[in-house]
Amino acid sequence: MVYKRGESISSREVLNTRESEQHEVSLKFEPFRPELLLHCYRLLGSLHDAEDSVQETMLRAWRHFDSFTDRGPGSMRAWLYTIATNTSLDALKKLGPRTLPAMAFPVADFRQPVAPRNNEIPWLEPLPDSWLAETTENPEARYTRLESVSLAFLTALQLLPSRQRAILLLCDVLDWQASETASLLNITVSAVNSALHRARVTLEKNYRGGENELSLPGKPNPATTDLLTRYLKCWEADDIAGLVALLKEDATLSMPPVPSWYQGRDAVQVILRDVVFKSDGQKRWRLIPTSANGQPAFKVYRADNPQSSFQPFALQVLTLDTKLNQIQDITAFLNPTLVEVFP
List, for residues 163-180, the tens digit of each pLDDT value. Answer: 999 999 999 999 999 999
Q: How many angstroms separate the CA atoms of 187 and 194, rounded?
A: 11
Question: Does residue 54 lie in a domain region?
Answer: yes
* Lowest-pLDDT choice from 52-66, 70-84, 285-299: 70-84
Q: 3-state class of 279 per DSSP?
A: coil
Integer Rg of the chain from CA: 23
Strands (E), the chain: 247-255, 258-263, 285-292, 295-302, 311-321, 326-333
The answer to the question of residue 114 being in a domain is no
Q: How far apart are CA 88 and CA 185, in angstroms?
A: 12
User: What confidence tens digit (pLDDT) does each residue in 236-294 have?
Assistant: 999 999 999 999 999 999 999 999 999 999 999 999 999 999 875 678 999 999 999 99
pLDDT for the residue numbered 27? 73
The secondary element (H helix, E strand) that includes residue 42 is: helix 33-44
Tally of structural domains, the chain: 2
- Cis omega before residue 116 (within 30°)? no
- Place 124 in a pLDDT band, splitting at 50, 70 and 90: very high
109 lies in a domain? no
**Can you give the pLDDT at residue 7?**
47
CATH of the domain at 42: 1.10.1740.10
**pTM (2 decimals)?**
0.87
Residue 256 lies inside a defined structural domain of this protein: yes
Summarize pLDDT for 185-216 with one digit per residue, the tens. Answer: 999 999 999 999 999 999 999 997 654 545 54
**Domain-terminating residue out of 70, 96, 122:** 96
Cα(225)–Cα(222) distance, integer angstroms:
5
The CATH number of residue 236's host domain is 3.10.450.50
pLDDT on residue 6: 45
User: Where in the sequence is the domain holding 7, given as residue range(s)?
Assistant: 1-96
Q: Does 330 reside within a domain? A: yes
Distance CA 84, CA 82 (A): 6
Lowest model confidence (mean pLDDT) among 29-43, 77-91, 117-131, 199-213: 199-213
d(CA 158, CA 166): 11
pLDDT of residue 13: 44
State the chain's maximal CA–CA distance in angstroms.
86
The answer to whether position 204 is within a domain reads no
Q: What percent of the chain lies above the pLDDT cut of 90? A: 71
